[in-house]
A and B are shown apart, each in its own frame.
Chain A
Amino acid sequence: MDNLNALIGGFGDVLTPLNLLLALLGVIIGTAVGVLPGIGPAMTVALLLPITYGLEPTQGLILFAGIFYGGMYGGSTTSILLNTPGESASVITALEGNKMAKAGRAAQALATAAIGSFVAGSIGTVLLVFLMPQVVEYAVRLGSPEYLAIIAVAFVGVTAVLGSSRIRGVAALLIGLTFGLVGLDKTTGQQRMTFNIPELNDGIDVVVVAVGIFALGEALWVAAHLRRKAAEVIPVGQPWMSRQDWKRSWKPWLRGTAFGFPFGAIPAGGAEIPTVLSYTAERKLSKHPEEFGKGAIEGVAGPEAANNASAAGTLVPMLALGLPTNATAAIMLAAIEGWGIQPGPTLLSREPAMVWALIASLFIGNTLLLVLNLPLAPTWAKLLRIPRPYLYAGILFFASMGAYAANGQPFDLYLLLLLGIIGFAMRRFGLPVLPMIIGVILGPLAELHLRRSLQVSGGEWSGLLSSPFTWICYAIVVVVLLWPLIASVIRRARGGDDGDAGRGGAGPDGSDDDARDPLVSATTHFGRGGNPPDSTGGF
């Protein structure tokens, strides 16, 4: 019951008027920015980073917790009312959500999304409370070889996510690792990739990378292809649900949570897979399968819950191991490092008050979100009509401010433009963004643990495989890397059905082919580096 006591202590820290105000502020700003079209949760957090610079770590994290959940909720509002979603995790929500909105049931879609997010977020956070200290207890005993192995799994996990081409994922990862290399070598002080530019000696600030890739890159990409006529916004009234809607929603919420949390907690690419799994499961289990594709409420309730539960699950490796598994967590870790706090398994023992205050504020933020968003939905919907020139000019404005304020030097602005151009190119060529940002953050950590492992083993490479744990991790890496090969062998053994060849291997194979179409097109059309089926075997 230590956890509960610590959590109650955390609530005690958070429940001051100032901190509650910060939580409220975080939720409002997070939702407002997240609702803006073209701004997903990761960009929301990246753009709002500067707010936390001037705050104490605990207060900054309270604000962040609100922004985190607010940004997620805002994203789902956008995808329901505008269709074309801003980020991969909301793709599935848009599938049924937008159909519901078009059929005049926008209010119910928003309500089931909001309440489902609340349910999933709350359950996810409770699971976090009990699971995270367990993971920490185990993790403090892990040595450098084990860490290196976990990071290897994370690298492979994020590069081989659903619906993406492996070669493009690896290319993105390598670009990120290259950026992580820049600066003085931490062990020997040698300059690497600094080109004698003194500003580069300390390395490239992760904040600048995140803002450059997510905010500037996205803004430039949209600017190059700006729709002359803004997409149609579906008007919405007060969200509410009938008895029937409740009856059809509560099971999908719980099932979505069950899919989402574990996938968030393992380093394997975030919310895409669980939202797809949840959608597929709901379609199979629904008593109204004919409504799927035309606006079935289960298809919004399940994936939305999966999305939020996965976000809560992400916090387990983030807080317990210092490992980010999605972009939002990566940026939050950057913020924590910005306060001079080293994330990792010792975080909980060194900064218990901060960690528990963060978790308590997740509960509070989540509740505030529900209270606030049901009545405010029509107001948020108005934000979708913001004139696009002002919207994207605003993103450029806040991106510049955030990058400059990180270190107070104009040099970072030039770097930001370079990174923005790289982010633009990645979107143009379908390179996924997540592996790159994970590479920047985890690359230096991987090198550190590699060198430490070899130091301990006296230069013997066998030192990297020092425990069964590392064997398991590398086995996972090998299986994921060789999956296309393994899958083709299995298929041949089954009697060679070539028509379904090589969809990256990770996709859920729904057996009912006719109903699968909207899902497949949604997941492969969305520009995360989808690749035509004939070329996925390349890596």
Chain B
Amino acid sequence: MSDATTRSPQRVRDRAQLGLCAALAGLGVLILVDASRIGQATSSNDPLGPRAVPLFLGVALLLVSGLYLLDVLRGGRGEEEEGEDVDLDSRADWRTLGLLAFFFLLNAVTIDRLGWVISGSILFWGSAFALGNRHHIRGLVIGVALALVTFYGFAIGLGVNLPAGILQGIL
């Protein structure tokens, strides 16, 4: 925690931060392009019009990305978030993340057709698998139980939007 260890000017630590600067600048440009396409519709009722705030935001994003870049070049570094189960000494596990994203998207694609009970069960089982669960049957049983409980509790009991999908009429 001493100042000496954190101080290293003229050297960029954590280069991925430069990507974040670029992303912020890109977002700024995106807003400006989008705003330029909005018809200028100011009136006495609305002297500011719909363009002013996006233009301001776009410029602010460009400005902040510049200042951020300056901060990074001067050796600044944002601290990664810690937590109960977070081990920051290990490198990011991209395989787990990829698998999680896959099962998440699978649920998004199938939820309307197969229904929440099936797609949700697969989501739970798949995510647990991605996170290192090797009790496949137990994972699936818990997934199906959760999906059934939430479907009956929320969709039937509380009238929340959850699709029955192909199980329509069976559930």
Contacts and interface: CB of A to CB of B under 8 A. Distances in A.
Interface of A: 37-38, 50-51, 53-55, 78, 82, 84-86, 165, 167-168, 170-171, 174-175, 177-178, 181, 185, 187-188, 190-193, 195, 218-228, 230-231, 387-390, 392-394, 396-398, 400-401, 404-408, 410, 413-414, 417, 420, 425, 427-431, 447, 450-451, 454-455, 458-459, 499, 517, 520-521, 524-535, 538-539
Contact of A223 (B3, B44, B93, B126): B93
B167 interface: no
A407 to B, nearest CB: 7
List 9 A-B pairs, minimum CB-CB distance, nearest first.
Answer: A430-B78, A54-B158, A527-B81, A408-B161, A459-B47, A535-B76, A393-B127, A413-B108, A389-B133
Contacts of A224: 92-94, 96-97
Contacts of A37: 83-85
Given A168-B78, A396-B123, A425-B20, A38 B84 contact: yes
B111 A223 contact: no
B166 interface: no
Contact of A181 (B49, B57, B125): B57
A82 B84 contact: yes
A230 B85 CA distance: 7
Given A82-B84, A181-B54, A223-B130, A396 B104 contact: yes
A181 B71 contact: no
- Mostly helix, strand, loop or mixed at chain B's interface? helix
29 contacts: A51-B158, A54-B157, A84-B86, A86-B84, A177-B57, A192-B54, A193-B54, A219-B100, A222-B83, A226-B87, A226-B96, A389-B132, A389-B133, A400-B107, A400-B120, A404-B161, A410-B108, A427-B81, A430-B78, A454-B48, A455-B46, A455-B47, A458-B44, A525-B79, A527-B82, A528-B79, A532-B6, A534-B6, A534-B7
A524 B84 CA distance: 17
A393 B124 contact: yes
A193 B31 contact: yes
Given A187-B46, A192-B50, A178 B27 contact: yes
Contacts of B88: 225
A431 B78 CA distance: 7
B148 interface: no
Interface string B56-94: 010011001101101100111111111111111010111
Contacts of A539: 67
B41 A228 contact: no
A525 B82 contact: yes
A23 B47 CA distance: 48
B49 A174 contact: no
A167 B80 contact: no
Interface of B: 1, 3, 6-7, 9, 16-17, 20, 24, 27, 30-31, 34-35, 38-39, 41, 44-50, 53-54, 57, 60-61, 64-65, 67-68, 70-71, 74-88, 90, 92-94, 96-97, 100-101, 103-105, 107-109, 111-112, 116, 120, 123-133, 139, 142-143, 146-147, 150, 154, 157-163
A193 B37 CA distance: 10
B20 A414 contact: no
A223 B100 contact: yes
B20 A429 contact: yes
Contact of B39 (A190, A218, A392): A190
A425 B111 CA distance: 27
A193 to B, nearest CB: 5
The listed residue with most B CB atoms (<10 A of its CB), out of A178, A455, A517, is A178
Contacts of B126: 393
B127 A396 contact: yes
Contact of B162 (A195, A222, A390, A405): A405
B81 to A, nearest CB: 3
Contact of B161 (A407, A417, A530): A407
A78 B84 contact: yes
A532 B77 contact: yes
B47 A404 contact: no
B74 A535 contact: yes
A390 B133 contact: yes
A495 B20 CA distance: 39
Contacts of B53: 181, 447, 450
Contacts of A187: 46, 50
A220 B85 contact: no
A500 B120 CA distance: 53
A538 B74 contact: yes
Contacts of A231: 84-85
B46 A451 contact: yes
B38 to A, nearest CB: 5
A228 B16 CA distance: 25
A398 B76 CA distance: 36
B131 A223 contact: yes
Contact of A225 (B16, B39, B71, B87): B87
Given A226-B93, A428-B16, 19 more contacts: A37-B84, A165-B71, A171-B65, A185-B38, A187-B46, A192-B34, A218-B83, A220-B100, A388-B132, A389-B127, A393-B126, A396-B124, A401-B120, A410-B111, A454-B48, A459-B47, A520-B1, A534-B3, A539-B67
B49 A165 contact: no
A393 B128 contact: yes
The listed residue with most A CB atoms (<10 A of its CB), out of B64, B71, B80, B139, is B71
Contacts of B157: 54
Nearest to B14: A429
A522 to B, nearest CB: 11
B142 to A, nearest CB: 6
Nearest to A401: B150
A226 B45 contact: no
Contacts of A188: 41, 46, 49-50
A219 B61 CA distance: 28
A241 B132 CA distance: 41
